[in-house]
Structure 1
Amino acid sequence: MKYMLLLLTVLTAGSSLVLADEPVPTESDYYKLSTFETPEGAVVEASGFQMLPNGKLAICTRRGEIWLIENPFVKDIKQAKWTRFAHGLHEPLSLAYRDGWLYAVQRCEVTRMKDTDGDEKADVFETFNNDWGITGDYHEYAFGSKFDENGDMWVTLCLTGSFTSKTKYRGWCLRITPEGKAIPTCSGIRSPGGMGMNAAGDVFYTDNQGPWNGTCALKHLKPGSFVGNPTGFPWYDEPAVQQAMGKRPQEPQSGSRFVIEADKIPEYEPPAVLFPYNKMGKSASGIDCDTTGGKFGPFENQLFVGDQTHSTVMRVYMEKVDGHYQGVCFPFREGFGSGTLGVQLTEQGSMFVGSTNRGWGSRGTAPFAVERLDWTGKTPFEILEMKAEPDGFRLVFTEPVNPETAAAVDSYQMTTYTYIYQSAYGSPEVDHTEPTITAAEVSKDGREVLLKIDGLQRGHVHELHVPGVRSKNDLPLLHQEAYYTLNYLKK
């Protein structure tokens, strides 16, 4: 719904007084959402995407199919042509491409396939790696990355039942080399929802609320690290793990806090970004990075992360402090047809989003959807970046601000809280504080504001609301909320 904003513009030097009722822009004014018509009778619960060298878009589905869209960027999206490339796979959730092969990460293995006779149907299938265990458990999801600069694919394996690790490498991240060899890389995974790389090529995954996860989070998969859930520790006894990872880390103390345990356990890499439960969603999912060179708007090199329950895509800005990633999440786009799962940005500047609600509830009411998000060319007034400073946070905006509104400390509101790091399922928000914003210093160009704050809290989410700031054109922020995870204080 569009709310009305009364804009009064006084023009001097021979100009006239203009009084106009202008609608406040909404998300759809900046990012247009289009829905594909899927083939009749097909259930396309799209979980992963891959652009192919011939310009076609490959889509894998939870039902074990792979589809090709011949003209995915066509203006009239209903004219897109679909062809089924493969079927009979076991819930593939990710796709990647290399040297003529399309790779799919199934529950049980990484499979590669190709079409050798040109009929747009895969006719060669090869097992590339199947070094992990599988049972009949519903939760044994496997997600894969694109290939990294070394030619490795990274795979995250959900715990059996999302609680136990009685099957080999459940709760682990493996790297699969170009030769198909598995290298144990990180422990501590619970229930992944997606994987992706940032602009620097570092690999991240989303993990969902549950034991040892107070809320959903974006986590950095740093080789050799432990990312939070010790249920998979028994696999440290495997010779391959000992060779790649060394000895098992110290067990975290249930009931503690993230940063307290990070200070005690050298291998522990705390969550880079926490997604406050209910506020930003309930089931973090697919990840991709905007490396389109401005074709998708002003958010170059930032990550976009889906949420299945809320049927949304979030936006994430990160920085490194003391050698660790940390950062902030913002709302970005809501209104997807079903529960957001797969997210893929292309060099053409389009974002493809696949969604499903089978087995999981979602705000989007359709059973599944395949959609495309395109930037309209208009720049939204947003907080572009939120950076930690020794005495507060620096906000960078997409457009110059109205300096009077941006300099008023009552234009901003901040609270902090964290989550219990515990073996029990999830956590409420705890340890709430209310920092004092003592000053808001606006830069000369109007693009930055330094918020000086008394009461920064290490290990806390700093929840910021900015209801009072206006752009130089008197527009409010499109999204007024930001959630910064302050694991390490900047010196």
Structure 2
Amino acid sequence: MKTARISLIAICLGLSAQAQNWMDYYKVENIPSPATVDPQYGGLTVLEDGRIAACFYSGEVEIYDTKTQTWSNFARGLQCPLGLLEDKDGSLLVMQWSELTRLSDTDGDGKADHYQAVFTDFGLTGNYHEFAYGPARDKDGNLYVALNVASHLAGTFPIVRGEFSPIGLEREVFATWTEGDHWETNKHKAGRMFSRVPYRGCIMKITPEGDSSVFAYGFRSPDGIGFDDEGRLWVTDNQGDWRGTSPLCHVTEGSFHGHPASLIWKEGWTRNPLEVPVEELESMRTRAAGLFPQGELANSPTQPIPTVGAEKFGLPKGELIIGDMNQPTLIRFLPEVVGGTTQGTAIPFLSSTAMGIGNHRFAFDEKGSLWVGKTHLTWAGDEGMRKINWLGNTMFIVDRVKLLANGFEIHFNQPLGEKLPGLEVSRHTYDYHARYGSAKIDLKEVNPVESTLSDDRQTLRITLPRIDTKRLYTINLKHASDADGRPLMGDVLRYNVIAPASE
């Protein structure tokens, strides 16, 4: 690649481009929810016939006809459903609090008349924090669900479903948490979040034949689960204990993702996870592919969904879009495989008051419209449904970020304008500990050695003194614009370096 050298002084002299306005490129439309439901969306899916199926916190499954713009009820009486998808036979698989359920309309009247339990092989204690998410389906037809751990803000019911682990605090303490100050005195002995019944904090795999097994360990509140076009399983988790900030995890079979509570369900495990040294847990864990700085990019990330292509939605295929409960923005994630390790770049997307907060569940239809269901569950968030359409206008974006041995190569979908962007680079990490969250630690500004721009002005190469692994790099491309003066949409890049590049 032939390059033209750019002095840092010249970069910093670039004048401001016009302000970012996502509504120049996308239309966000409010879709009225059914009048008879609590309009908090636990799941969305586009059916084979183009209609939209949604499940709601109040227990209904409703179907939206996009042609008539009307809703019809399909099922009622479900318990906190937090995900659904259509099976090959037209039935709907819904992840309830207590089971994965198949809903079938056997007489063709448009309503489910057969409710079948598909998967119940996990425990329940009555703790309010034991949510269940999914399902996601791989190319072989296996289903995957994600199970929350319980919270120390409550105990357990005297009668539970499943084995109660004898590891750690006695069962009697959990069962009597409402009596006097018993639980207030003992709750810290349980850990802030705990797993005392199978398989809390795990990702579960269910085969087409109905056999289930633990697929991965180490999760806290994994509210987002889904596959990309490459067949990779992605799971988001929420900041908290053992979570310095919220991660995006590339999940493979047998992997451990940092929260130790679920390790008690690992075959042969006999130790109290709270007593395992942090250094040992660190040596076991698979680091997150992406990190979302708390309060900046996300607070409580939700569902990851693969993009559908630039011709339909304005973004390249091969990326993920991720929601968040607290921030009025979505997130693009650009994966990169380096030395067999999946890592990558998070970039703000659709940051707008029109987007709002509480963006929980997503589905693309055949035309490329993105349907968004919102929720809050008494925490931060919102209600209702949005439909997002790309207006067809070409926007200026970063479409690829490559890690180099001593820097980064940033590729744009259009040539940079004559007035070059300002450039600020920093890197930091987070503490891995049992306490709730972490401030940024080892935060350092990084002064680039040089920057070079390709002859076609679409590739910016940033050379740094060195690349430190296990660090989140933030690259701010201030005031960047293309040759027509269009601003760079998403000008802060956050690349999570786990593995180093060899060249």
The TM tier, using the shorter chain, reads 0.7 to 0.9
Of 372, 393, 398, which aligns to 1:383?
Answer: 398
Report the AA paired with residue 198 of structure 2.
Answer: K
Stretch moving more, 127-136 or 328-337 = 328-337
- The alpha carbon displacement at 1:312 in A equals 2.6
For residues 112-153 of structure 1, the C-alpha deviation after alignment (integer angstroms, 9 at most, x for no partner) is 011122221111110011000112222111111432111111
- 1:240-319 matches, cutoff 5 A: 253-254=277-278, 264-265=283-284, 268-292=285-309, 294-319=311-336
CA distance, structure 2, for counterparts of residue 96 and residue 108 of structure 1:
17
Report the AA paired with residue 43 of structure 2.
Answer: G
Of 185, 196, 204, which aligns to 2:215?
Answer: 185
Tell me whether 1:399 sits opposite 2:414 in the alignment.
yes
CA distance, structure 1, for counterparts of residue 35 and residue 316 of structure 2:
36
Partner of 2:74: 85
Task: Find runs of 4+ consecutive structure 1 residues off by over 6 angstroms.
Answer: 246-252
Of 132, 139, 161, which aligns to 1:149?
Answer: 139
Partner of 1:219: 249
CA distance, structure 1, for counterparts of residue 323 and residue 277 of structure 2:
31
C-alpha contact 2:51 2:64 (8 A) present in aligned 1? yes
CA distance, structure 1, for counterparts of residue 111 and residue 356 of structure 2:
29
CA distance, structure 2, for counterparts of residue 186 and residue 159 of structure 1:
14
- The alpha carbon displacement at 1:50 in A equals 1.4
C-alpha contact 2:54 2:61 (8 A) present in aligned 1? yes
Report the AA paired with residue 146 of structure 1.
Answer: A
Partner of 2:368: 349
Report the AA paired with residue 429 of structure 2.
Answer: T
CA distance, structure 2, for counterparts of residue 25 and residue 164 of structure 1:
43
Report the AA paired with residue 198 of structure 1.
Answer: D
What secondary structure sits across from 2:195 in the alignment? coil
Report the AA paired with residue 447 of structure 1.
Answer: Q
Report the AA paired with residue 430 of structure 2.
Answer: Y
Partner of 1:447: 458
Q: CA RMSD in A?
A: 2.3
TM-score by structure 1 length? 0.85
**Aligned residue pairs, count:** 443
Of 122, 130, 150, which aligns to 2:112?
Answer: 122
Of 190, 203, 206, which aligns to 1:173?
Answer: 203
- 1:362-373 matches, cutoff 5 A: 362=381, 367-373=382-388
Partner of 1:132: 122
Of 57, 67, 75, which aligns to 2:52?
Answer: 57
CA distance, structure 2, for counterparts of residue 151 and residue 31 of structure 1:
34
TM-score by structure 2 length? 0.83
CA distance, structure 2, for counterparts of residue 352 and residue 138 of structure 1:
29
Tell me whether 1:109 sits opposite 2:126 in the alignment.
no
Flag structure 2 segments of 5+ consecutive residues without an equivalent: 1-16, 152-191
C-alpha contact 1:337 1:369 (8 A) present in aligned 2? no
- The alpha carbon displacement at 1:44 in A equals 2.1
CA distance, structure 2, for counterparts of residue 426 and residue 179 of structure 1:
40
Partner of 1:203: 233
Tell me whether 1:420 sits opposite 2:431 in the alignment.
yes
- The alpha carbon displacement at 1:357 in A equals 2.2
Report the AA paired with residue 487 of structure 1.
Answer: I
For residues 439 and 347 of structure 1, do their structure 2 counterparts lie closer, same or farther at Cα, with a shift above 3 Å needed? farther
For residues 19-59 of structure 1, the C-alpha deviation after alignment (integer angstroms, 9 at most, x for no partner) is xxx97551111111111112224322112111112221111
Stretch moving more, 337-346 or 132-141 = 337-346
Report the AA paired with residue 400 of structure 2.
Answer: E
Does 1 or 2 have the higher relative contact order (CA < 8 Å, sep 6+)?
2
For residues 53 and 321 of structure 1, do their structure 2 counterparts lie closer, same or farther at Cα, with a shift above 3 Å needed? same
Tell me whether 1:230 sits opposite 2:260 in the alignment.
yes
For residues 481 and 25 of structure 1, do their structure 2 counterparts lie closer, same or farther at Cα, with a shift above 3 Å needed? closer
For residues 212 and 118 of structure 1, do their structure 2 counterparts lie closer, same or farther at Cα, with a shift above 3 Å needed? same
